[in-house]
Amino acid sequence: MCGIVTICSNRPGLNAGPIVQMTEDLAHRGPDADGVVQMSKCHLGHRRLQVIDPVGGQQPMWDDSRRFCVTFNGEIYNFRELRRELQTRGVDFHTHSDTEVLLLGYREYGSAVVEKLNGQFAFAIWDEKQSSLFAARDRLGEKPLFWAQGPAGELIIGSEIKAILKSELVRPMLDPASVDAYLALIYVPPDRTIYQNIHALPPGHALEWQSGAVHQWSYWQPRLSTNPIDQCEAVGEVRRLTTQAVERQMVADTPVGAFLSGGLDSATIVGLMAGQATAPIKTFSVGFGDLINELPYAEAVAQQYRTEHHAMQMDIPVGETLLQMARVYDEPFGDSSNIPTYLISQFAGEHVKVVLSGDGGDELFGGYDWYSPLQRQESMPSSSVLSTEWYRLLSCLPLGPWRRHASTRFKDIRAKNCFPDLWDRHLAALSVISADHRASLWGGSKRESAEDLLSKSYRPNDSIYGIDRATDFDLRCYLPGDIFVKVDRAAMAHGLETRSPFMDVDLVEFVLSLPARLRFAGPPLKSILRRACADLWPEPVRARNKQGFGAPIQSWLQRPDVRTLRDRVFHPQSPLLELLPGAAVIARQCEKKPQVTWNLLCLGLWLESHPCDVGKQEQVA
């Protein structure tokens, strides 16, 4: 994996300094090599982690005509098929790299090349003849790409926001709307950044810059429940496509390992890898004591497949690591699992350059616990006030067989009555800090809510209905905004490339096309994956319940090192209280909701290390 940077200008004679400094600032993403190309109107920089064709894949890379030059972060898993297709069209190759396939594919097909790519990618290609730049990001947002415009219309691109700021062509302006969305979600939505004047290229989007003008468009959207197929055929195809995805993603000129949590997803990946490998696979597991101890399950998988297993127990220096996270993640990030992810990446990075993981399996196959109440609620008939009150009263009875059922029923009825649209209900359930509490954080001033902001970008049209309205949000917002941000920054901080076979384009499009009744058949959750791949799992793994990779933030918040940070962050003159006057009060009111305090703590630490101006807050009547 790599880090890329670009500066384009209408005016010839770009200053040589910024592109070099920007490239150096991403050294952690590509510790093996670096390169800079400087032209009259465009500079491109690249930091390289050497995985495929170490000699021939050096970047930035020119085509033979010296018209097109690319800087590329990612992997094109179907590059061999594309290479053969291009060769039938008379295209000659000089390397064995996927970078050259991408470059010459663009020369042959133009912007339509993105529709042919199966992989994780973010790239920029300069056209010297047209003085234009084309950039694109993979469909599901595995790899990041940010852009901004300088004072003279320059286009500045970087794999991370820190590289854009290093150009010194942009003075960062905090975006209050993005802060509010972070407070609700624990992450900044993937179509935005925390800054008003620095932008994220959304997943599945492309961008073109010419003469100072930026044009951005979507080239892919998930298509749900479009394939009327029977379960038996679907199960067989899921197994075939998952096997194919693992085979594609094991291609590398360096050993490929795997994260092994002992869950269904990682056990599937390791089982399929073992069936294709010619030597024992290196697998990595980390236990965190009372926090997360999946080591026995991981060990069962490792023994079944005779992997070269690396496991360790680790104590987490929470306060110290929290401060590191504020620097590693260029934006506030409140998902506490970033800490164990960062540490297991550090551990694996000491042994290999590439690991496969099970990321995306829950979004693809419906593995989250929050899907079950949504399914129940959708199957419920409309409820009268009388029946609602009846269930409320039953839920208050002494312990007995009716109480739990009545309490669940009452909560489901209340949720459906409050939010008739499943999309609104899903967003409300996921929101960590309610709209009322967020208004209090800001001092009560009226503004565009995070809900309204998210509705503009992520509310699906009426052709997507039922549980698919939740799936659509999780695929387009939660997965790229939380999961892939967490993994990319944590792994690349240690020069480690992660690959997610469940995000293979062919597999994703097939599974999403299945009717929701197949994808969400159960209990248990993930029934399609279970039918397709259960034979790969040891019995302890097959029988276990889902366990998230979270953290005991309630106990973490009581640690002396974390309490010291809390006292500092919630001090009356702190950057957090300056931005959010009601933060200390809300934290006290929500003492029994530790994620609220954690969210505010992470924001406060980020504000301390990223001073910036506050942009104009959009007021609403």
Q: Are 154 and 7 in contact (CB under 8 A)?
A: yes
Q: Distance (Å, rounded) from C-alpha 375 to C-alpha 531?
A: 21
Q: Are 467 and 423 in contact (CB under 8 A)?
A: no
Amino acid, res. 68: F
Q: Distance (Å, rounded) from C-alpha 438 to C-alpha 391?
A: 31
3-state secondary structure of 551: coil
Q: Distance (Å, rounded) from C-alpha 97 to C-alpha 52?
A: 6
Task: Kindly state the DSSP code that residue 207 receives in the 8-state scheme.
Answer: E
Please give the helix or strand (H or E) that residue 177 lies within, else none: helix 176-185
Q: Distance (Å, rounded) from C-alpha 189 to C-alpha 457?
A: 9
What are 218's strand-pairing partners? Answer: 205
End-to-end distance of the chain based on CA atoms, in angstroms? Answer: 47
> Each residue of 585-614: b (16+ CB within 10 Å) or e?
ebbeebeebbbbbbbbbbbbbbbbebebee
Q: Distance (Å, rounded) from C-alpha 348 to C-alpha 335?
A: 21
Q: What ranges make up the beta strands (E) of 329-479?
A: 354-356
Positive or negative: CA dihedral 124, 28, 322, 142: positive
- Phi-psi region at 460: left, alpha or beta (left = phi > 0; alpha = psi -120 to 50): beta
Q: Are 253 and 52 in contact (CB under 8 A)?
A: yes
* Residue 246 CB partners (closer than 8 Å, separation 6+): 269, 272, 273, 276, 356, 501
Q: Distance (Å, rounded) from C-alpha 355 to C-alpha 285?
A: 12
What are 19's strand-pairing partners? Answer: none
Q: Are 48 and 34 in contact (CB under 8 A)?
A: yes
Q: Distance (Å, rounded) from C-alpha 571 to C-alpha 341?
A: 30
Q: Where are the alpha helices (DSSP H) in 442-526?
A: 450-458, 468-473, 484-492, 505-513, 516-519
Strand bridging mode 213-218 / 33-38: unpaired
Q: Distance (Å, rounded) from C-alpha 548 to C-alpha 535?
A: 23
Q: Do you know the residue count of the chain?
A: 621
Let me know if 69 is a catalytic residue: no
Place of tokens 């387009």: 476
The three-state DSSP-derived secondary structure of 312-331 is EECCCCHHHHHHHHHHHCCC
Longest Cα–Cα distance in the chain? 80
What are 121's strand-pairing partners? Answer: 74
Report the alpha-carbon angle 111-50-139, nearest 5: 35
Q: Which residues are catalytic?
A: 2
